[in-house]
Structure 1
Amino acid sequence: MKLAVFPVTKDIAALVRHSDFLQKYKSIHFISPPGLIKEGSDLSEVDFGVPTGIMITNDLPAALADSDSILLSYSEHVIDPIVYLNVTELAREKKKSILFTSELLEYLGEKYELQETDAIIDSQPEQFGDEDKLDEHLYRIPVPVVAVAGIGFNCDKFSIQMKLNSYFKTEGYKVLCFGSNALSPLAGINSFPKCAISSNLGIKQRILAFNHHVYDTALKENPDLIIIGVPGGIMECNPRLFEFWEEIPLIVFSALEVDASVISLYSYPYSNNFFEEIMKTCRYKYGFLPTVYNICNMDYDFSTESERNIFSRIPRDAFMKKIFSKIEKNKFNVLSTELVGNDEMMFRKILAELE
């Protein structure tokens, strides 16, 4: 099967780097809208990682002509829904099947009507309805739980989850992983349970439902450990847009006892006082202490004019000199998986915490 992907994003790049995504298809065309990434650029232009040898194209019609299906996912860099609608129209004209993420369909809303030939890659049924009576008991998960959370959205939680999933499997562990990203099924990772974010359930029911779902799945699959990718952020960084109000992290950490954790942070030369405050937030609000802090190369800002989150990647050299070198790393187990050798350091610290 030949696939086209639109638009190419850092999460798509993470899929390529840290999963068997490429091996699942005969060929894949990675498409960027004109003006974002130029024709012929390496995929590494998306995440400032090591060059991949995979080229990006701006030629949507040509990519579609050489593909059987197109995968569409949400990107904060595509600010007008009409761009996606134009892509779907062209795909229909060329009789190509369309794969959506639920996140993108939610963004498009009533502007797009799902067709019979369309598919949602992270589709899942409601585990519990609003009239179901849940057993009001939190079950202790029978195996270690590793959580990957972030200070906010878009701070590389997905790539960390895939790295941990791959590492533990390579080491011979049987892993049950729930991903925070809509693209998780493409990496062979379970979608984040819908019951934890369902608007049909109150907070208490969502905590119980999430706990029961993870517990039942663990009994069924009998893993050696569980990795939970936590959607959203443990703190709200945006003074005007209050997405989830930290609801999902509260649900996850209320439902499960965490044995080890990674907290991923935006790119900034944080002080020791900041890490002290984050540690207090995790301990007293969520009930756990972070094992490792990861500094990603994603800069975060907020536009008061457009009231939008603004995310931008920092090149590796600038990240090292202006950000990472200014942080006292040893005191708080701070690392960056952007840098050579830090992945292994993260794995060792997580293993040591689980022993």
Structure 2
Amino acid sequence: MSRLLKPTNLLRNIWLVVCLLPGILSLPLTAAEPSVKTPSTSHRWLLVVDTSRAMERRSEAVQQIASNLVVSAMNGQAQPGDTLGVWTFNEELQTGRFPLQTFTSNNIPAARRLAGFLRAQPHEGSGRLPNVMPTLMHLVQSSDFITVIILSDGSSEIVGTPFDEKINASFRSWRREQARGQMPFVTLLRASLGNVTQYAVSTPPFPLEMPPLQEALVQARNEAVRAVEPVKAQPRPTPPPLIVSGRKPSTNVTQAVPQPDPQPLKVVESTPTNSLPERPAVAAAPAPSAQTSAVAAAETQPKPVEPTPPSEQTVETSPGVTPVAARASAPQPGANAGPAPSAGRMNNAVLAGIVLTVALSGVVLILLMRGRHSRKHASLITRSLENRRQ
């Protein structure tokens, strides 16, 4: 039974080795890769205040200086997100009594809290700055970028920095002046990547000296800003214009044929076939001179018809005789209709029509009177013949 299980155990062990082999091979490679530390963009600020008995007379100046530094965001060098810690010391160092503050766009509330905290601190003992330096230097070595501001009376010398001699010389030179004016010394230490690189000693009420920020910090902040900036979307390339070549299909459009100008009507005079006396012919004038012709026709009155002497023959009026004006007014078959006349032509045409109507009425009346006169003469002749026969 155990002999039969041995091949199965062997296959299982081989399978486990195959599964664990990629992880085993990757261990040396992972350990060999060096770790690259990216510097932080935040800046730590630490305020160290001497609360010895000698600083009691300078407490108001200390509170004012500390509040102004916070409100001004460390003279404009602190950015939102930077942190501020507060330590106090006399013979011993006290840390953690004031909560860590963060700089914002409005630092007035933080300045008020700091002033209240410093006002409540007791002033006793003597200031021992050398007791503070070991803890302070340990914090400097563990920080990427840090600025330490020490408010003291200058009676205790500083140790542990590359600038001890210069700082202590300033203390000795200005110690009496600061005591007489009840003003503290303001000592600044600026460190980058664990090393103190800058210092400054200020003597209020003269302005505080603030060295420029570390070059590495400025570069790290610029890189962070570029990384946060939104990537501008590149405009899409515009495609080339689509050009379609071809002829537009023709459409059958009936063009309007211009009509010819109307021609003036021709007046044809016809002579009557009977022997009636001549009467004034009324002719239709063309449209432009219709007003002049109408006035002339209106002024011309037909003359009275004189009776002819009786004759033996009877004169009959031909029924085919038509007034000249009626024939002239008929449109010729070859004439084309012209464009619509204007308002002036319409008025002239109406006036000419009225004159022609009056003239035609006069002609018809004359014809009727002549017909009746002829019938009367014919009856007299007939009567005379009948009287002779009788």
Q: Above 0.5 in TM-score?
A: no
Specify the structure having the higher radius of gyration (Cα): 2
Tell me which protein shows more strand as a share of its residues.
1
Higher relative contact order (CA 8 A, sep 6+): 1
TM-score (norm 2): 0.21
TM-score (norm 1): 0.22
